Chains A and B, each alone.
Chain A
Amino acid sequence: EAQVTQNPRYLITVTGKKLTVTCSQNMNHEYMSWYRQDPGLGLRQIYYSMNVEVTDKGDVPEGYKVSRKEKRNFPLILESPSPNQTSLYFCASLSGGHPNTEAFFGQGTRLTVV
């Protein structure tokens, strides 16, 4: 079954404690992306990756890092989380060779930073 898997689904942490949200896809997609979803603001892109070792900033990259060492994995790293990073996060993947295809989303990670 084609899927994007995010972990954890829920996370409560304290300010400044480094954390990683994992994302893995099993569709051999070239493109992967991270979004955050906040009330009234819709989906905002944090970072995206066009292939292994190729990443770029989205609209709201401050305070986040990513890496793409393998095609299937695209972890989101918060080196020093702050309360304004409390949000719902989604990972997505899509085929790069076929731009007419749809994106696949993970189930989301609800992060609370206290």
Chain B
Amino acid sequence: AQSVAQPEDQVNVAEGNPLTVKCTYSVSGNPYLFWYVQYPNRGLQFLLKYITGDNLVKGSYGFEAEFNKSQTSFHLKKPSALVSDSALYFCAVRDPTGGSYIPTFGRGTSLIVHP
């Protein structure tokens, strides 16, 4: 079975400061990991993914994420937050050894960037 946890319901950060949104996962094999962002009144949009290779992956809007196999984590990061980054962020995992390939999503973390 696959699962993902986002331990923080909300993250607050000042504009210009670095941000981190945490995600941990559990799968039986090597995971495929994804981050999505949801702006108000919109559907989820893909940000970035880790499949294999370099543990640091870069995505849209200046976001990056670091895969850490020993800690089973895939934290989302950005060096300098913008007010426009305020949104709901979801981490997701797909287990390529599973039968359905349907992703499991975390509960979401609300990121609030203060001016």
Residue interface mask A96-114, B partner, CB < 8 A = 1: 1001101111111000000
Specify which of B9, B45, B100, B101 lies most central, judged by the most chain A CB atoms within 10 Å of its CB. B101
Task: Write out the residue numbers on chain A whose beta carbons fall within 8 Å of the beta carbon of B115.
Answer: none
Determine chain B's interface SS by DSSP, over half rule: loop
Q: At the interface, yes or no: B56 with Cβ under 8 Å from chain A?
A: no
Indicate if the CB atoms of B102 and A48 lie closer than 8 Å.
yes
Partner of A48, one of B44, B90, B100: B100
Determine chain A's interface SS by DSSP, over half rule: strand
CA distance A42 to B100 in the complex (A): 21
Residues 9 to 58 of chain A near chain B (Cβ within 8 Å): 31, 33, 35, 40-43, 45, 48, 50, 56
CA distance A56 to B41 in the complex (A): 28
Residue interface mask B91-115, A partner, CB < 8 A = 1: 0101010001111011110000000
Task: Write out the residue numbers on chain A whose beta carbons fall within 8 Å of the beta carbon of B102.
Answer: 31, 33, 45, 48
Residue interface mask B28-69, A partner, CB < 8 A = 1: 000010101000011111100101000000000000000000
Count: A-B pairs, CB below 8 Å: 59
Q: At the interface, yes or no: A90 with Cβ under 8 Å from chain B?
A: yes
Q: At the interface, yes or no: A94 with Cβ under 8 Å from chain B?
A: yes
| A: contact size bracket | 20 to 34
Given A100-B49, A102-B46, A108-B43 in contact, is the A41-B107 Cβ separation under 8 Å? yes
Give the 10 A-B CB pairs with smallest separation, nearest first.
Answer: A42-B107, A105-B43, A102-B46, A99-B101, A105-B44, A100-B51, A43-B105, A42-B108, A107-B43, A99-B96
> What are 26 of the A-B contact pairs (CB < 8 Å)?
A31-B100, A33-B102, A41-B107, A42-B105, A42-B108, A43-B90, A43-B107, A48-B100, A50-B100, A90-B44, A94-B101, A96-B101, A99-B32, A99-B94, A99-B96, A99-B101, A100-B49, A100-B51, A100-B94, A100-B96, A103-B34, A103-B36, A103-B103, A105-B36, A105-B45, A108-B42
